[in-house]
Amino acid sequence: MYAVIMAGGRGTRFWPRSREKKPKHLLDITSEKTIIQETVDRIKPLISPNNILVVTGKKHARALIKQLPEIPSRNIIIEPEGKNTAACIGLAALHLRKIVPDDIMVVLPSDHAIADSRKFIDVLDAAAKVAAQEDGLVTIGIKPSSIQTGFGYIEQADSFQHIADEEVFRVKSIREKPDFQQAQAFVKNGNFYWNSGLFIWKASTILKEIARWLPDLYAGLMKINEALGSPDEAAIVPRVYKKLASISIDYGVMEKADNVFMLQGDFGWSDVGSWDALWEISAKDNKGNVLTGGGKAIFEDTEGSLVYSPKKLVALVGIKDLIIVETKDALLICKKGSSQNVKKIVEALEEKQLKKYL
């Protein structure tokens, strides 16, 4: 069994901490370790570091090798450019087949938080058994705790089987990022789960599904496959990869496939996708305030707020539901509940060509 960790995102909703040179997964956000170090540590009871592959961009490869000394440098796969998750997963599957003819791939985002690591491993272990037995696509659904439009949703169908203590369900449908009214209906229905972005399948299975549903992408991957390990690899792979469609595995394959299974992920999952998400999973004082970053803060007549400040003292008076993030060159002040829109700040900085803040 192999793990594939996707480490190519920018984490724009975590600006001003997350930057192009050091995106979210390379930061110590939820503990003293970086998020990707936590991701690797979490999977190690199931998969040896020698069997963990990390897909990342060229500019972050050196930092990843430094942060993850247990993982052989040959297991760091360089993605020529960001092309979304379908191309990323397809590329990883090709590299995996160069190591072993066919094996289980546990596909993990690099930047999620899990509260119950033991339960997490139990669920993945059961999911891997399903993927091996059924030659299917297996994913993990998270019971919704709120109405979210930033997540995809998985519609649970009938129970398929039990493996150990885990129940396996067939999947009726997968709906990517609905509007608020749709998300509200999904949550009310009770049979919809958040799409965790965790996938388990054989390398051969996902390549077969990409060939079926994304034939042009598959054709490009086969050109790359021929070049891997050849003298022309460095020239051919970037040229072909540049032409690949940028589409998520959810839109491109999972929404269309008919052999999808789901296990429920009751292990304290968070995508840590925004400052609001960090507030949700962080320890709070008796007024619901969070201080992170190792600095100091005084919360006077203040509730429901988050402060990140590694050096400066931050004092809040008469404040409710505010996010304050202080770095050496930027200050973010955001109303709690609106931090999903922090990515618009990054877009504005790009438009104004203020590159030093990116």
Q: How far apart are CA 357 and CA 329, in angstroms?
A: 8
| pLDDT reported for residue 83 | 92
Structural contact between residues 30 and 115, judged by C-beta atoms closer than 8 angstroms: no
Q: Which of 270, 275, 343, 266 is nearest to 306 (CA)?
A: 275
| pLDDT reported for residue 149 | 82
Q: For residue 324, what is the DSSP state?
A: E
Q: What are phi and psi of 272, to 5 degrees?
A: 40, 45
Question: What global pTM score does this model have?
Answer: 0.91
The average pLDDT across 52-72 equals 94
For residue 101, pLDDT beyond 90: no
Q: Which of 235, 8, 254, 303 is nearest to 141 (CA)?
A: 254
Q: How far apart are CA 196 and CA 113, in angstroms?
A: 11
For residue 262, pLDDT beyond 90: yes
> pLDDT-based confidence at 340, cuts 50/70/90?
confident
Work out the mean pLDDT of the chain and round it to a whole number. 93
> pLDDT-based confidence at 72, cuts 50/70/90?
very high
Q: Kindly report the number of other CB atoms within 10 A of residue 298's CB atom.
A: 12
Backbone angle region of 278, left / alpha / beta, with phi > 0 → left and psi within -120 to 50 → alpha: alpha
> What DSSP string runs through 22-57?
S-GGGS-SSSSS-HHHHHHHHHTTTS-GGGEEEEEE
Reduced to 3 states (helix: H, G, I; strand: E, B; else coil), residue 102 is coil
For residue 111, pLDDT beyond 90: no
| pLDDT reported for residue 294 | 85
Residue indicated by tokens 């993927």: 131
Would you call 352 exposed, middle or buried from its count of C-beta atoms within 10 A (0-12, 13-18, 19+)? Answer: exposed
Q: How far apart are CA 197 and CA 152, in angstroms?
A: 9
Domains and CATH numbers, the chain: 2-270 (3.90.550.10), 275-357 (no CATH)
| pLDDT reported for residue 207 | 97
pLDDT tens column, 74-86: 999 999 999 999 9
Q: How far apart are CA 301 and CA 303, in angstroms?
A: 7
